[in-house]
């Protein structure tokens, strides 16, 4: 835009300069026309003084008379000879009387300009011609002034012609510059049009991206709502499983008291309890199957109770095996302690899961706030949306991994 303004300013300056030069040429032409009129008026005056009808005189004759007068004026004023009158009074007396002084000779007044029989001219005794018309001297002064003016005008005309040639060259140069700048302006206009088209295309792309972003945000919101519902389901599941674990702990304590009183036929119970332990370890690895594993544990505990009831009757018959089973009972107690530790670890995992869920909720709230703030800044929307998408994907992966871990 600055280049276009500079080009327009330079074009305006060039046009103003051309206008000024054109005005000067017009003034010089008017002065020349005025001088031509003055010369024509002097020619008419000269014709009147000579008693000649201007209509009967050709332009060549008038020019010849002007040349003769110019030569006469030059001989009288610029190069006075021995025949000229240095004294103006004597010159006027000789002009009126046709006589010279005792030591003077008649002036050589343009001997070849006028004819011998022309009016206002007399031949002296010496055969020379001298002027007896008073108005001719005034005419000589007027002619001299006009000739000086003509010389000045010729100089002025030469200068004006030089200026005109310079102005013509400058005008051509300026026209070339104007053409170049016009081409440059057209190129800049084309570039501006292209940039406007690119801007329109970019606006359309931005509008399309905004629509896609809105769709993505709505989809992400739906995904977040789905994840929230899933998390609530997981929380409910965890709460139910906590209650189941509490019940399981009560059953384990009951089983411990029963095991202290019943010390027979524990070999099968130990194997079943080891199986229950392996099932509990699988339950800690796969949180989704905890309910099934807990139901199996309930069934196994009921079987344990039946086995313990059966073992009560068998204890009386297996006093010899009591010492052997005592070591197995101690091992079972250690397994029970291990199971309790596993339950405590599961509780800590649940607490960590709740903490991560609360952090995830806070992250989701902050992410929504960032989305609202980022809608105000069009230049940073793409990067912020990509960052939020990356964060949401990472949070989703974390939730999924945590769900699988739990």
Give the DSSP letter string of 202-264.
Answer: HHHHHHHHHHHHHHHHHHHHHHHHHHHHHHHHHHHHHHHHHHHHHHHHHHHHHHHHHHHH--S
> Which residue in 27, 33, 55 sits closest to 43, CA to CA?
55
- Token code pair at residue 72: 């006469």
Angle at 104 (CA atoms; ends 103, 105), nearest 5 degrees = 135
Give the DSSP letter string of 158-178.
Answer: HHHHHHHHHHHHHHHHHHHHH
pLDDT value at position 210? 86
Q: Which residues of the chain have pLDDT under 50?
A: 76-130
Angle at 285 (CA atoms; ends 283, 290), nearest 5 degrees = 25
Decide: helix, strand or coil at residue 123.
strand
Instruction: For residue range 315-370, list pLDDT tens digits in order.
Output: 677 666 667 767 777 888 888 888 888 878 887 887 787 787 777 777 777 766 76
Q: Please say whether the beta carbons of 32 and 153 come within 8 A.
A: yes
Domain-by-domain residue ranges, the chain? 2-183
pLDDT value at position 377? 64
Q: Long-range pairs for 137-143 at CB < 8 Å and ≥24 separation? A: 137/95, 139/45, 139/46, 139/49, 139/69, 140/69, 140/72, 140/73, 140/76, 142/42, 142/45, 143/42, 143/66, 143/69, 143/70, 143/73
pLDDT value at position 96? 40
pLDDT value at position 370? 66
Instruction: For residue range 99-123, list pLDDT tens digits in order.
Output: 344 444 434 333 333 333 344 444 3
Percentage of the chain lying above the pLDDT 70 cut: 55
> Which residue in 233, 224, 227 sits closest to 366, CA to CA?
224
pLDDT value at position 367? 64
Decide: helix, strand or coil at residue 122.
strand
Which DSSP letter does residue 114 get?
Answer: S
Indicate the pTM of the whole model: 0.25
């Amino acid at each position: 835009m600055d280049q276009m303004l500079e080009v327009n300013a330079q074009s305006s300056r060039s046009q103003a300069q051309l206008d000024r030069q054109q005005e000067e040429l017009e003034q010089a032409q008017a002065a020349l026309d005025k001088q031509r009129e003055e010369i024509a008026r002097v020619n008419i005056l000269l014709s009147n003084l000579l008693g000649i009808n201007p209509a009967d005189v050709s332009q060549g004759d008038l020019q010849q008379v002007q040349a003769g007068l110019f030569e006469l004026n030059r001989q009288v004023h610029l190069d006075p000879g021995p025949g000229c009158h240095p004294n103006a009074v004597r010159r006027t007396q000789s002009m009126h009387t046709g006589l010279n002084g005792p030591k003077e000779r008649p002036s050589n007044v343009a001997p070849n300009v006028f004819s011998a029989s022309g009016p206002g001219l007399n031949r002296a005794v010496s055969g020379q011609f001298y002027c007896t018309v008073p108005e001719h001297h005034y005419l000589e002064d007027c002619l001299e002034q006009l000739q000086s003016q003509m010389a000045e005008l010729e100089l002025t005309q030469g200068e004006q012609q030089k200026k005109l040639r310079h102005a013509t060259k400058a005008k051509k140069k300026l026209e070339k510059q104007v053409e170049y700048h016009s081409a440059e302006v057209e190129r800049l206009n084309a570039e501006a049009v292209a940039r406007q088209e690119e801007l329109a295309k970019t606006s359309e792309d931005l509008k399309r991206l905004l629509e896609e972003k809105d769709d993505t945000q709505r989809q992400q919101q739906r995904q977040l709502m789905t994840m929230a519902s899933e998390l609530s389901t997981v929380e409910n599941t965890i709460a139910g499983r906590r209650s189941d674990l509490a019940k399981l702990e009560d059953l384990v304590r009951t089983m411990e008291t029963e095991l202290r009183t019943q010390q027979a036929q524990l070999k099968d119970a130990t194997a079943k309890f080891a199986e229950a332990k392996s099932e509990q370890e699988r339950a800690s690895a796969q949180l989704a199957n905890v309910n099934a594993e807990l139901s199996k544990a309930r069934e196994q505990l009921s079987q344990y109770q039946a086995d313990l009831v059966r073992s009560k009757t068998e204890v009386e018959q297996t006093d010899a095996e009591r010492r052997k089973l005592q070591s197995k009972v101690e091992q079972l107690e250690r397994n029970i302690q291990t199971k309790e530790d596993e339950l405590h670890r599961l509780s800590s995992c649940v607490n960590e899961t709740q903490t991560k869920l609360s952090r995830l909720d806070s992250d989701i709230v902050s992410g929504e706030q960032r989305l609202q703030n980022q809608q105000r800044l069009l230049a940073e929307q793409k990067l912020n949306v990509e960052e939020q998408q990356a964060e949401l994907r990472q949070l989703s992966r974390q939730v999924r991994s945590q769900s699988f871990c739990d």
